[in-house]
Amino acid sequence: MGLLSSCWEVLLHIATYSQLLGTQNLNQQSPLLLPAPQPNSHGLDSSAGPSFKVLGTNFTCSYPSMIGYKACNSGQDRSCWLQSSSRKSNAYNIHTAYDTPGDTFTPTGVVREYWLNVDLQAIAPDGYLKSLGQVFNGTYSGPHLEGCWGDTFVVHVTNKIPNLGTTIHWHGIRQLHTNQQDGVNGVTQCPIAYNDTYTYRFHAQQYGHTWYHSHYQTQYSDGVAGPLTIYGPSSENWDETFTPIMMQDWVHENTSIAFKQELAQAIPIGDSLLLGGVNQFKCSSLDPKCCAGCSRATCDTAEGENPEFCCTPDPGCFKTLNSVRTVQAGSKFNRTFVEGKRYLLQLINASSESMFIFSIDDHDLQVIAADLVPIVPYTTDSVFVAIGQRYQVIVTAKPKKKSRLCQKNVVNCNYWIRTRIASGCGTVAQDNEETGIIQYSPNRSGNPETTSGNDREACRDEPTEKLRPIVQWNASDLRNNRENYTFDAAFDNVTNHGAFRWELSEKPLFLNYSDPSILNVDNASYFANPDIAPVNYTNHAWNDGFVYLVITAGNVLKIPGKRGVPAAHPIHLHGHDFVILAQVDREWDGTVPVLDTDNPTRRDTALLYAGGYLALAFKLDNAGIWLVHCHIAWHASSGLALNIIERQDEILGSIGSLDATRETCAGWDEMNLQFVQEDSGI
């Protein structure tokens, strides 16, 4: 019974628990106030620290305190980043184990400072008005935040929404020694009150791309989300890159309505799909919220068409709703390729509910990173992207075959980008998978006539045997060895806080916005609350080793009062990468499976298969309070989450002052909103 039981004892405490202001500050930098590398310890010379433009981008990385180092990243060798000028063995590259304790194995960059407003904004990314959009700096998606490996991000977030709070989570960021900057209301802070500002400050120990999003209610599904890139080495060479590409389902009404459907045990249905923040929703021009290019009379002449939904939006359409707001027509996402070049695409699934199979007609994808983990490259014709997951893929601009319209000249070609909803993993009214266009000529008009080259439909992660990290971990040092504890993704048979809710532990997670866990680290009575359901994993014998947790999604549960529902769930862990020991599509029977411990897949988000189980392990090396949750927005807000308390007696010493956290809570309490909390608090 070793596997699961220990998963609990070692783990810690588990509780079920817009417009960038001042564009002149977009690239504002100042020296990072951290110790510079010591020349004596690295054998460096006394030259100035390097500053260099990342090839294929317009962004500059600066390391003023890295005296004696030079840039070594090039189009011919993307694997190198910084190299000692005097000692070749001293380098920061794709093989650097940046998770090693201490700051020695991360370069020292500069401060990147950004300002974000969260505000209400009427938006129409697909050509159909969302009256109550919530966005960063007046636009969806939010600004592309950029930095370099080893930089410190300082992001000032101001809440401009009168009757709501907000918090911003930096998805996948390790937050070593900065647990209070993780951005989860009810866990690491109170919500930011109206007109208040909270400043997030964290170190970019990892590199790659990810996203930042609200963790308040279902706010990110209404538009409070944006991409984040941390430039660093790559496991394969490429020529150019673009802004990260966010893919998602989209709901026209406020998503609080969809969440109420979830609580009533109805399936929320999205309206359309977005790619790169845009698409074209088909609707009637008689609908005042729609920009369409035809009238109802025109629709009526189309045999078999529904008059309400037959019109393709007119690119020139806009409607004035008042003196300020307009509804503009939607458009297809597009990117222009130059034949022969290699393009890095940074993919993000920012959905509420839908999982996608991403592909480009007649082009292969070379996958080089999963989440924030560089991997040994492999080639495929499509990649499955669960909610919260990110992939870096390289596309060579050389089609495998040419379409009928461009057999003689590739520059006349257009190709569909497809985001197909995986079978059983999303419900959207207009789910046309042709969401974007790759064009080899920017002047080529009209939609592509290409067809999909794959019939992939299964809601399954990329095969773990293909996702092999460059920096290897051996996960055989599993400190907990009992297996009588599992976490079951299920419904409770009794109502909790007025509804039937999803849960992972004994009860659905339900936290108080005004009383976050991080302010209760030393409060034993707090963790006696049944809504918290703690299990203590502050066992120093397990520090820096691996601990298990196994999450099931089976139909048959042996636990009284729980109702199994065989649904797929994208599971995300804050504050850590985890390794996948087993990812299985059959019922968990309580026995120890064959575990993959030799350089297993490592990431921060993985899919729990419907009717199956997911065995994970992570290192107890980051004192803090960390959330584990399903990233389906409705499920997390319903309570499908755990709250891990790691190395409890070290947390306050690790993170330092909580004065800013208490100040934010005081502002939230002073706001004194009168409402009945329906969501889980995260």
Q: What is the CATH code for 2-15+472-671? A: 2.60.40.420
**CB proximity list for 254: less than 8 A, separation 6 or greater:** 132, 222
pLDDT-based confidence at 391, cuts 50/70/90?
very high
**Structure-block tokens of residue 210:** 């990810």
The closest of 182, 211, 177 to 198, measured between CA atoms, is 182
- Helix or strand or coil: residue 299? helix
**d(C-alpha 466, C-alpha 383), whole Å:** 12
**How far from each other are the two terminal CA atoms of the chain, in whole angstroms?**
32
User: Among 260-274, 293-307, 566-580, 581-595, which stretch is predicted with the lowest mean pLDDT?
Assistant: 293-307
165 has a pLDDT exceeding 90: yes
| Greater model confidence, 455 or 350 | 350
Contact 192, 167 (CB under 8 A): yes
Q: According to the per-residue pLDDT averaged within each range, which of 49-63, 399-413, 541-555 is highest?
A: 49-63
**CB proximity list for 53: less than 8 A, separation 6 or greater:** 59, 60, 61
- β-pair type (225-231, 145-148): parallel
12 has a pLDDT exceeding 50: no
**d(C-alpha 124, C-alpha 129), whole Å:** 5
What's the confidence (pLDDT) of residue 237? 98
**CB proximity list for 113: less than 8 A, separation 6 or greater:** 25, 28, 29, 30, 154, 155, 156
| Greater model confidence, 568 or 404 | 568
What are the respective helix, strand and coil percentages of the chain, to the nearest 5? 10, 35, 55
How confident is the model over 577-586, as a mean pLDDT? Answer: 94
18 has a pLDDT exceeding 50: no
| Greater model confidence, 335 or 485 | 335
Distances from the Cα of 670 to the Cαs of 215, 512, 605, 665, 673, in angstroms?
21, 15, 36, 8, 9
Helix H or strand E segment including 491: strand 490-492
Helix H or strand E segment including 652: helix 651-655
How confident is the model over 605-612, as a mean pLDDT? Answer: 94
**Structure-block tokens of residue 344:** 């890095």
- The residue with tokens 């959207």 is 428
User: Among 111-115, 291-295, 381-385, 598-602, which stretch is predicted with the lowest mean pLDDT?
Assistant: 291-295
Identity (one letter) of the amino acid at 590?
G
What's the confidence (pLDDT) of residue 681? 81
- Helix or strand or coil: residue 368? strand
User: Among 35-49, 142-156, 436-450, 660-674, which stretch is predicted with the lowest mean pLDDT?
Assistant: 35-49
Identity (one letter) of the amino acid at 66?
M
Identity (one letter) of the amino acid at 296?
R
**Structure-block tokens of residue 466:** 């293909």
Percent of the chain topping pLDDT 70: 76
Where are the extended beta strands (E) located within 164-264?
A: 168-170, 197-203, 208-214, 225-231, 240-241, 245-250
- The residue with tokens 């048959």 is 556
Residue 71: φ, ψ to 5°: -70, 140
What's the confidence (pLDDT) of residue 430? 94
pLDDT-based confidence at 476, cuts 50/70/90?
confident
DSSP state letters, 4-50: HHHHHHTT-EEE-----S-GGGTT-EEE--SPPPPHHHHT--SPPPP
**d(C-alpha 662, C-alpha 189), whole Å:** 8
What's the confidence (pLDDT) of residue 86? 84
**d(C-alpha 159, C-alpha 194), whole Å:** 5
CATH 2.60.40.420 in the chain: give the residue spans.
2-15+472-671
Contact 184, 167 (CB under 8 A): yes
Where are the extended beta strands (E) located within 56-167?
A: 60-62, 69-71, 80-84, 91-93, 110-123, 130-136, 145-148, 152-159
